[in-house]
Amino acid sequence: MINKPDMILIDVDGTLVDSVPDLAWCVDAMMQQLDMPTHGEAKVRNWVGNGVERLVRRALIGQLEGEPDAALFERAYPIFLELYAENTSKRSVLYPGVREGLDYLKAAGYKLGCVTNKAARFTEPLLRDLGVADYFAIIVSGDTLPQSKPDPAPLLHAAEFFGVQPTHSMMVGDSVSDVKASRAAGFQIVCMSYGYNHGNDIRDARPDAVIDALTEIRGLLEQAA
């Protein structure tokens, strides 16, 4: 059973925004500049969700786990950052139902924040360009604090900002990282059935609820205790 929260924090990539089209374009453009084989969007979709540094490392070795040559990474990472700075929101889109779900949460008076592992220099322009930045009173990016998800610190930071207890807080995300951070923080966690969880079913991580679109959060909250 879901308890009605006072505050709801929402993840970005894989929850609000399908950012893979831009990320994949930048990965492949980076690989071309390095004279290495490109990967395509389908592979990149399984590699995102832990920040762009990790994505670049995965792209360089062509798999989820492992580490690339240190010198190669030092060459590649600045190339990717320059590409992504120019291509943060050119191909990315809101998932269906996101704007309607945010409209409902705002009208219902919930305190809303955004917590992501994406760096602030990419997060803020992306949310602004897609027209959803103003829904959130606080945006906690991957470099706002020394720690990022799955560490609970970003969630607790937002709870302190709003003056809300973790037990009265909810996170909405899409990955096992969101589930781990929420459990460690003492938050409830609702996950999207789509999103970026490295090809694994998010239900296996046992969130409190799984929904197919952000519009479905209304039904959850209206039935909440």
Catalytic residues: 11
Q: Provide the 10 A C-beta neighbour count for residue 48.
A: 25
Tokens 């990016």 belong to 141
Strands 7-10 and 17-18: unpaired
Q: How many CA atoms lie within 13 A of 176 on its CB side?
A: 9
